[in-house]
Structure 1
């Protein structure tokens, strides 16, 4: 009965399911790898700044990949860029399945560079493909599909964080890496067979200079996205997991579990963002909603920083405060993800989405470096003040976005 139901699905829905499943599998390994690297190298005695440096190439190459990847997607098709991303992640994992003495900072940075390229090829391809699978003008459905894809991805990234912490307590680092690479190879083979060959290929071959967006709305949204994600990663990537391990003496299981809970909750809220922001009233959000939700978010890291400064129930303030931050951040992120796909040109969607996620990766890069640097010298409180400032800048930039509201379809 289940197989019969699947056979009756439209080609668009089938492709959406393949893309989503592909994205889910990749995200599990990406989240697990992130937690494995942070916890394993912290256990080996690496400083917070050195741990942040392990992710430097991951973020730098993410910036480059989004810029070039959108152009490649328009020329080659999104099926190819998605499958290239999966293949590169398998290679990156295989590089880490070596004896511990070979895992030098430079070598791990190189493996992380490949993983960064893979992640952003996969993300750009998945987000761009949704625009092509939804009928033109169906803005309500577009928002809903983007929210489901993005929210489920982030929930699974949280599961990946949890698995990374759990598996590191049950298996040694190398064994976990080999297991993930083997499972992802099976997903890659299925994806090679299942994805349409012409998905996302532009009618005319775009020139490389066209990777830079010519749309004012996309440029403003991209700048706001950069500061939004810098605001998250300035405390999330290195500062928080190390703070939890050192200050509260949490083991790998507890650190991975908390980070996982945060991201899973964040992903669930993202999936329901269309209903939180007004879809049930027959409207999809405009630039005005991006301003309002960024303004709400600005207050939260500032409040947590004040609690730390006054030594006010530190553990409870951090845990509860960051859970609230995650929920409000999720709505902001989902709004942005919808707006970029909505603003993008259908024939060159991967170029516009690629440029936008280049700014996203730049924000992650800035946040990652600051997370290790600021935490090492000034502590978590300073990271949170920077987070509040970055969100305030994102809110200010969002005031320049179009405020026209569209009806759902």
Structure 2
């Protein structure tokens, strides 16, 4: 277990968007203390005196001003980051791009996360948070601006290359802007357990995940108005955020006075536990993205196979005759599939509902992750978690997608297209996965801090979250390939080819996700950390604790203090 001095080396610059530590407790567990950077950032405001604490901190306090400005800017950016994926994906779906085509479009976005995530911290330490924030917001405007140039007359190859480059700028923008959002808690140091500022930190942290979910929905819903309206709305949100960063922040904010870490130092390979955890992390996130980012929205948009073809006639004056995601072809005068490359067999819901579906998942995931110590690991006596805890929850993580694949393959609700039954199963599977995946992610967020104790924490964590980005990249690209080619032969309708069976494509992606979940759990077994054992409540011990057997009991394991500490570790 790391000591408090080592914990306070953590640099949130390197952390993923929904899993960075924000605060640790000091030695007496009475007061939250801001995490200081290994980059030697000495520009943070001093803790408020007792007099300041009793008077309370208002929004006009100069110590709080950078915190508020950066938080507002980052939260507004988060909306546009969620929206851009839905805008690109659903617009591409209506242009008949396959799932593999869309997955390729996201490749440079995810790849940018691998490298920019490592370089952003060094850029901020050298040029300041204001610089990286402005560059990130500007690149996001550039990315949205480039999407206006997507021409209908282009070939698919031309469009894929163009949109992929536009998405690359969005990926870079995300990590540069994230630097400001994730270092915001280093700018203030509240004294006292329940200060107004500390409660504000927790509130804004929760809003971050909620607003990303709002972005998913907003981007999808605005497409129902028009593609251009969706793009202009998101640009307007970024332009609204820009003045806060331009006029409200000092150019020296967040710059380091000590030597910054080099890229060479980031690739630290001598920490066995952290390296194993990073490898497991890659498969954990791939277990989600093998079915979530591309296959799920494609399946939700795909129409009913049994409502297509010459048997379902329509005309230019009666386009409403086609239902369940189908469209009327006035030339053929029957209902056809908007995107044969996306297959048929799904519920065929509107784009706004697709956005609400995915956005709801993100909001639920973020909230469960934040409250895991209080609601799950704490009551089960699994706080602080160890390797065995993660293996336990990692195995459980396999079940939702495994059951989902079986249901999609075998359930009459999907085979006979019973719309209510299909949606009921999908909601149950995805909500269950979101809860279990959030628990796994929160445990990982604690373990990375624990295992990084023997090394420079910021450097080690940078490598860890690079593995996280690699998992998203592998999952996204792999999902497009599996969904496109695992659906078997095209669904047969006499006189019409509606595309492959999307039901089988999504089921295969669930299988891939299950395999990745299992691999993540198996890899975690290699970690050398068995001290705390495993309990499932006060009365059920699955694995005995070696610490208890040896009579070791530290004050640091006081349940209330540990809950507070773990909550702070996973808070962002």
TM-score by length of structure 2 reads: 0.63
Q: Point out which structure has higher relative CO (alpha carbons under 8 A, 6+ apart).
A: 1
Alignment of 1:269 with 2:368, yes or no, is: yes
Residue pairs, 1:60-99, within 5 angstroms: 60-98=111-149
Describe the shift of the 1:325–1:310 C-alpha distance in structure 2 as closer, same or farther (beyond 3 A).
same
The CA deviation at 1:84 is: 2.6
Instruction: Name 1:313's counterpart in structure 2.
Output: 413
- Cα deviation, 1:130-158, whole Å, max 9, x if unaligned, reads 4776799x9xxxx9999866653332221
Residue pair 1:27, 1:160 contacting (<8 A) in 2 also? yes
- Cα deviation, 1:80-118, whole Å, max 9, x if unaligned, reads 434432222122112223363478221111110011111
More off after superposition, 249-258 vs 29-38: 249-258
- Cα deviation, 1:255-290, whole Å, max 9, x if unaligned, reads 122112222222221222231244577954344433
- Cα deviation, 1:30-66, whole Å, max 9, x if unaligned, reads 1111111111110011111111111111112221212
- Cα deviation, 1:205-239, whole Å, max 9, x if unaligned, reads 32331121354343233222211111111101111
Among 178, 187, 211, the residue aligned to 2:241: 187
Describe the shift of the 1:261–1:18 C-alpha distance in structure 2 as closer, same or farther (beyond 3 A).
same
Alignment of 1:370 with 2:478, yes or no, is: yes
Alignment of 1:47 with 2:102, yes or no, is: no
Alignment of 1:293 with 2:347, yes or no, is: no
Alignment of 1:256 with 2:364, yes or no, is: no
Residue pair 2:103, 2:477 contacting (<8 A) in 1 also? yes
Alignment of 1:394 with 2:520, yes or no, is: yes
* Structure 2 runs not aligned, ≥5 long: 1-55, 303-345, 415-421, 487-504, 533-555, 566-572
CA distance in 2, matches of 1:335, 1:147: 18
Provide the secondary structure at the position in 2 that maps to 1:236. Answer: coil
CA distance in 2, matches of 1:132, 1:291: 36
Among 223, 241, 245, the residue aligned to 2:297: 241
More helix by share: 1
Instruction: Name 1:59's counterpart in structure 2.
Output: 110
* Structure 1 runs not aligned, ≥5 long: none
Instruction: Name 2:35's counterpart in structure 1.
Output: none
Cα RMSD (Å) of the superposition? 3.4
Residue pair 1:226, 1:364 contacting (<8 A) in 2 also? yes
Alignment of 1:177 with 2:231, yes or no, is: yes
CA distance in 2, matches of 1:290, 1:133: 33
CA radius of gyration, larger in: 2
Describe the shift of the 1:144–1:186 C-alpha distance in structure 2 as closer, same or farther (beyond 3 A).
closer
More off after superposition, 93-102 vs 124-133: 124-133
Task: Report the number of matched residues.
Answer: 399
TM-score by length of structure 1 reads: 0.85
Instruction: Name 2:89's counterpart in structure 1.
Output: 38
Describe the shift of the 1:277–1:342 C-alpha distance in structure 2 as closer, same or farther (beyond 3 A).
farther
- Cα deviation, 1:285-316, whole Å, max 9, x if unaligned, reads 34443322222211111111111121253412
